Amino acid sequence: MLLPIHAKQYKRKYSDVQLVDRKSFCKPCTRSGIIAVFTCFLLFQSWMYFVLFATPQPELQDSGHHVHVVDDPQAVRKLMIERSMGAQVEKKKTPGKEREQDYVKKDRVYGVAPSDYTKYTDGFSCTGHDNQQVSVTFEMVNDDYCDCMDGEDEPGTSACGHLGRFFCIPEQKSLIGHTVNDMVCDCCDGSDEWENPANCPNSCEAMNMAQKKHQDILRQGKELRKHYIQQGEAARMNGEPWHHSDAFYPLAKNCLSRSQAGYLYRLCLFKSMEQSKNVESHSLGKSWRWIDENKLGVLSNGKMCPGGPARETRVTFECDIKDELVSVSESERCIYSAKVLTPAACV
Mean pLDDT of 110-126: 87
Mean of pLDDT values over 198-202: 89
pTM, to two decimals: 0.55
- In the sheet that holds 272-277, the strands lie side by side as 256-260, 263-268, 272-277, 280-283
Is a pLDDT exceeding 80 seen at residue 98?
no
In this predicted model, what pLDDT tens digit does every residue of 224-256 receive, in sequence order? 999 999 999 999 999 998 888 999 999 999 999
**3-state SS, one letter per residue, for 92-147:** CCCCCCCCCCCHHHHHHCCCCCHHHHHHHHHCEEEEECCCCEEEECHHHCCCCCCC
Q: Please compute the mean of the pLDDT values over residues 312-336 and round it to a whole number.
A: 96
pLDDT surpassing 50 at residue 304 = yes
Count the alpha carbons within 13 Å of 9 in the hemisphere toward its beta carbon: 3
pLDDT reported for residue 50? 58
Q: Using one digit for the tens of pLDDT, what is the confidence trace for 252-274?
A: 999 999 999 999 999 999 999 99
The predicted-structure confidence for 125-173, as pLDDT tens digits, reads as follows: 999 988 999 999 988 999 999 999 999 999 999 999 999 999 999 999 9
Mean pLDDT, to the nearest integer, of 173-185? 92
Helices (H), the chain: 5-49, 73-84, 103-108, 117-122, 204-237, 249-252
Share of the chain above pLDDT 90, in %: 56
Res 209 pLDDT > 60: yes
Q: Is the dihedral of CA 206, 210, 211, 216 positive or negative?
A: positive
- Mean pLDDT, residues 216-230: 97
Does the pLDDT of residue 342 top 50, yes or no? Answer: yes
**With DSSP H G I counted as helix, E B as strand and the rest as coil, what are the percentages for the chain, rounded to 5?**
40, 25, 35
82 pLDDT band, cuts 50/70/90, is: very low
- At residue 72, does pLDDT exceed 90? no
Residue 280 CA to residue 272 CA, distance in Å, equals 16
Compare 150 and 46 and report the one with higher pLDDT: 150
| Banded model confidence at residue 123, pLDDT cuts 50, 70, 90 | confident
Contact criterion met (CB below 8 Å) for 324 and 256: yes
Q: Are 96 and 112 in contact (CB under 8 A)?
A: no
Banded model confidence at residue 48, pLDDT cuts 50, 70, 90: low
Give the percent of the chain with pLDDT over 70: 72
Contact criterion met (CB below 8 Å) for 97 and 200:
no
Q: Which of 29-38, 73-82, 329-338 has the lowest mean pLDDT?
A: 73-82
